Chain A
Amino acid sequence: MSYLEYAVKTVPTGWRKILYLNWPLILLIMAVASTGFLMLYSVAGGSFSPWVEPQLKRFVMGLVLMLFVAMVPIWFWRNISVVAYLGTLVLLILVEIMGSVGMGAQRWIDLGFMRLQPSELMKITLVMLLAAYYDWLPLPRTSRPIWVAIPVLIILIPTALVLRQPDLGTSILLLAGGGMVMFMAGVHWAYFAAVIGMGVGLVTAVFQSRGTEWQLLKDYQYRRIDTFLDPASDPLGAGYHITQSKIALGSGGWTGRGFMQGTQSRLNFLPEKHTDFIFTTLAEEFGFVGAFSLLSLYALIVVFCIASALMNRDRFSSLLTLGIAATFFLFFAVNMSMVMGLAPVVGVPLPLVSYGGSAMLVLMVAFGLVQSAHVHRAR
Chain B
Amino acid sequence: MKIIVAIKQVPERDAQVRIDAAGKWIDESGLQWALNESDAYALEEALQLKEKNGGEVVVVSAGPERVGTTIREALAKGADRAIHIDCDDLGSRDALGVARLLAAAMKPENPDLVLTGLQSEDLGLGQTGVIVAELLGLPHATLILQVEKTETGLKVKRELEEGWFQSIELPTPAVLTIQSGGNKLRYATLMGIKKAKTKEVRRVTASELGVDGAQVVVLERIALPQKQKSTQMLPGNAKEAAATLVEKLKFEARVL
The answer to whether A and B belong to the same complex is no
Question: Hey, which bits of chain A sit against chain B, CB under 8 A?
Answer: none
